Structure 1
Amino acid sequence: MNGKATTTRTRLERGRSALGPALELVHTGRAPTRAVLTAELGVTRATAGAVAAELEALGLIRVDSRPGAAAGSQGRPSHRLSVDDTGPVVLAAQVHADGFRAALVGLGGRIVATAPGCVTVQADPAQVLGEVVDAGAELLRRSGRRCAGAGLAVPSAVAEPEGTALNPLHLAWPAGAPVRDIFAERVSAAGITGPAFAGNDVNLAALAEHRHGAGRGAQHLLCVATGHRGVGGALVLDGRLHSGSSGLALEVGHLTVNPEGRPCHCGSRGCLDVETDPLAFLTAAGRAPGPEVSLLQRARDLLREEYDDPAVRGATEELVDRLGLGLAGLVNILNPDRIILGGLHRELLEADPDRLRAVVADRSLWGRSGGVPILACTLDHNSLVGAAELAWQPVLDDPLAALA
């Protein structure tokens, strides 16, 4: 083989090996132009151009070869890159204590369509997951879009490699339910193409926020959130979820913050799980939960509409102090460079940011040394977007193989 042919083949192989990294850069918004893509990949302009063209041919990104120049700029503007908003999607599903939701999610973390489900989650996980997959299949049928896979978020630690929900405490599901296998079976039976995955809802929220939201750019990102019931946590290290030896790391809901507090499902007392969730807030404020709306929505409405009520303000301060104590302990152990809060914790931060930051700084060694940024999560339905990230990962790893 002559030298020219060898060089051509080498460039082709180098370009194909760069397809996944290039797609991830566009997917996460870190390569808005071909010039940035070239620099980030460390390849020649010709190779970056070939990579972008192949991703465009796969229907994954769009390349604008005639972008308008910015005012005052000199020289020819670089080709702009964006995800193809008519390209493939993945099915994302989330189950929580007050129901479920199915969605179609495109590259870039963009939710294309959603279908909220029931308000009462049955005790049989197979029935619930069958219903959520049916809702997703209907969304796919209406959209006519190609599906690249499916991801599921559940309010439980998910053991690896088995894919079992070990502690669905706020669902009536049996401990150890094989949620990933059940989900995969329902996805396949519905004729939905691509692999199926399952993960803990807060882990997936953290992954979504790291790629598309308030966690972008953080090296050691701690996420703590309370949804409809309970509290969860997650840690993203250098872009990857820290899941521990078997997927069970960062069960922060079972940190004790009030030794004389409420009994917890785990057998202890005064855990974050029962001291800083929506039910704890409503109880502290002297309000009945009520059947009209979810616990989370009732607590949010109370914070937004009745914050001037002394009982509501007192409950806010009480939960902020407990949450701050828990965060301070996590800061001492994990030394994150950013903390993001989701669910009701986001509203508590917004209601009294100075108090929360002061408690964390006062109770943590590293907080006193300079402070850890504490921010609100910014994505709507971030657990759904995170479930989609699970399904997109094989495409990000190897677009050609995943879409063959």
Structure 2
Amino acid sequence: MNGKATTTRTRLDRGRSALGPALELVHTGRAPTRAVLTAELGVTRATAGAVAAELEALGLIRVDSRPGAAAGSQGRPSHRLTVDENGPVALAAQIHADGFRAALVGLGGRIVATAPGCVEVTADPAQVLAAVVNAGAGLLRESGRRCVGAGLAVPSAVAEPEGTALNPLHLAWPAGAPVRDVFAGLVRAAGIDGPAFTGNDVNLAALAEHRHGAGRGAQHLLCVATGHRGVGGALVLDGRLHTGSSGLALEVGHLTVNPAGRPCHCGSRGCLDVETDPLAFLTAAGRVPGPEVSLLQQCRDLLRDEPGDAGVRAAVEELVDRLGLGLAGLVNILNPDRIILGGLHRELLAADPDRLRAVVADRSLWGRSGGVPILACTLDHNSLAGAAELAWQPVLDDPLSALGRPVPHG
């Protein structure tokens, strides 16, 4: 090894602890150039250069040493840093009441390929998860990409450390189904590389939105969403999911917003879960749900095609009022600096943003003193992207340990 290579290796060894933080900065778009990376890491320019070169050698990022200067700028432009579009991927999957979807997700939250699954989710978790893994394995074979691991999003609280689906209320699965063990076993049996993880779908949506979407930059991010059935919530504190002592925090779907309301699967009445989900909207609008497409899509079609219909307007007002009441209670308890809404709740925000914000402000202590920003989620498949984040996390923590040291140059 020549002197120049020896110097580069010494700088890298000195900055090895910066590899993970550097990759996360590029992964989340917070270090678009080497100059920004240097400043964010608080290292010398030479060390930042060595770190970037090592991440490039691992096939994770690309370093453009000859970027074009912006019009009117002065001085030499800094090296541009981007994720490697041809780099490794994570296998991500999501289960919901109307089916499943598998995807390959690269760094930066980029969905590389997807495979929609069956329409009917059977009562046997192992059967469903086998179909999920088979779909994902097919995507990997077609892509030829290296896989860093697999992540699964499920519509249930996932108890820790067991990895069991504690309350898959909108699936026919038994309570306490060992979804993480089953999923991990199927991933191994399929010959898919890397560890396997499982998490609650809204938790993972919030994680993806915080890193790549509407929650980026928030310190205390509250996410509330309803997809195909039910309502979930999540809290991201200083970049990390708050899951409580055993993974069961933020079960906001069972917050009572109408004591005389609809019976809930949990045994109570008037919970957010049954007062503000797609079935509640269709019922309030006087529509009979059809079997052709998902309940969520039926709601979206109504809001798009018949926004002036009296029943649709009444349904929007009813659900916005219930949702606003729930959000106000959460604001009082959690004091978030941003709220993001997903699924049907995103559509309700778009349909009547002023009403929703007014209800939250009127019912919350902190809403009266400036308000909490309420935004729509911006990632189309945020639970999938969040499932991939679980698989990417070991790489973000320690790229060399996860992927192995590349061959030195020079």
Q: Distance in 2 between matches of 1:25 and 1:294?
A: 37
- CA drift at 1:70: 0.3
- In the TM superposition, residue 8 of structure 1 has moved relative to its aligned partner by 8.0
User: In the TM superposition, what is the alpha-carbon distance from 1:2 to its structure 2 partner?
Assistant: 18
Post-superposition Cα deviations, 1:70-102, rounded to whole Å, max 9, x if no partner, equal 000000000000000000001000000000000
Identity, % of aligned pairs?
91
Q: Deviations over 1:191-215 (max 9, x none)?
A: 1000000000000000000000000
Q: Distance in 2 between matches of 1:92 and 1:326?
A: 31
Structure 2 SS opposite 1:81: strand
* CA-CA distance at 1:174 after TM superposition: 0.5
* Contact 2:8–2:50 (8 Å) recurs in 1: no
Q: Deviations over 1:12-48 (max 9, x none)?
A: 3332111100000000000000000000000000000
Which deviates further from its counterpart, 12-21 or 311-320? 12-21
> Residues 64 and 7 from structure 1, CA distance in 2 versus in 1: closer, same or farther, beyond 3 angstroms?
closer
User: 1:11 deviation in Å?
Assistant: 3.5
Question: 1:9 deviation in Å?
Answer: 7.5
**1:173, CA displacement in angstroms?**
0.4
Kept after mapping to 1: 8 A contact 2:111/2:385: yes
Which residue of 1 is the match for residue 135 of structure 2? 135
What TM-score results when the alignment is normalised by the length of structure 1?
A: 0.98
Shift of 1:10: 6.4
Following superposition, the deviation at residue 4 of structure 1 comes to 13
Which residue is 1:253 aligned to? 253
Q: Determine the C-alpha separation between the residues in 2 that align with 1:188 and 1:107.
A: 22
- Taking a change above 3 Å as real, the CA distance of residues 5 and 305 of structure 1, as seen in their structure-2 partners, is closer
TM (norm. structure 2) is 0.96
Q: Shift of the alpha carbon at 1:360?
A: 0.1
Residues 301 and 267 (structure 1), Cα distance of their counterparts in 2 relative to 1, 3 Å cut: same
What secondary structure does 2:170 align onto? coil
SS in 2 for 1:362: helix
**Which SS does the other structure have where 2:30 is aligned?**
coil
Equivalent residue runs for 1:264-303 within 5 Å: 264-303=264-303
Which consecutive residues of structure 1, in runs of 5 or more, have no partner in the other structure?
A: none
C-alpha distance in 1, partners of 2:363/2:216? 26
Q: Could you tell me how far apart the structure 2 residues matched to 1:232 and 1:8 are?
A: 48
In 1, the alpha carbon distance for the partners of 2:148 and 2:8 equals 31
Residue 304 of structure 1 and its aligned partner are, at CA, apart by 1.0
Deviation sequence 1:214-258 (CA, Å, 0-9, x none): 000000000000000000000000000000000000000000000
Cα–Cα, structure 1 residues 3 and 290, in superposed 2: closer, same or farther, change >3 Å?
closer
CA 1:3–1:138: 2 relative to 1, 3 Å:
closer
What whole-Å deviation, never above 9, does each CA across 1:154-208 have from its counterpart, x for those lacking one?
A: 0000011111000000000010011011000010111100000000000000000
RMSD, aligned CA? 2.2
Shift in alpha-carbon separation, 1:51–1:263, aligned structure 2, 3 A = same
Structure 2: gaps of 5 or more residues: 404-409
Q: What is the CA–CA distance in structure 2 between the aligned matches of 1:262 and 1:12, rounded to whole Å? A: 60
1:340-397 per-residue CA deviation (whole Å, 9 max, x = no partner) reads 0000000000000000000000000000011000000000110000000000000000
Distance in 1, Cα, partners of 2:31 & 2:321: 41
Worse-superposed segment, 5-14 or 39-48: 5-14
TM-aligned CA distance change 1:8 to 1:52, over 3 Å: closer
Aligned length: 404
- 2:232 maps to which residue? 232
Q: For residues 5 and 64 of structure 1, do their structure 2 counterparts lie closer, same or farther at Cα, with a shift above 3 Å needed? A: closer
C-alpha separation between the residues in 2 aligned to 1:244 and 1:366? 24
Partner of 1:339: helix, strand, or coil? strand
Shift in CA distance, 8/86, structure 1 to aligned 2, threshold 3 Å: closer
Q: Secondary structure at the match of 2:206?
A: helix
Specify the SS of the correspondent of 1:265: coil
Please give the alpha-carbon distance, in whole angstroms, between the structure 1 residues aligned to 2:273 and 2:25.
Answer: 36
Native 8 Å contact 2:11 2:50 kept in 1:
no
CA distance, structure 2, for counterparts of residue 2 and residue 277 of structure 1: 64
Deviation track 1:260-301 (CA, whole Å, cap 9, x = no partner) reads 000001110000000000000000000011001000100111
Q: Secondary structure at the match of 1:18?
A: helix
Distance 1:177 1:12 in 2: 45
Counterpart of 1:119? 119
Query: What CA distance in whole angstroms lies between the structure 1 residues aligned with 2:51 and 2:5?
Result: 19
Distance 2:394 2:228 in 1: 31
SS of residue in 2 equivalent to 1:153:
strand
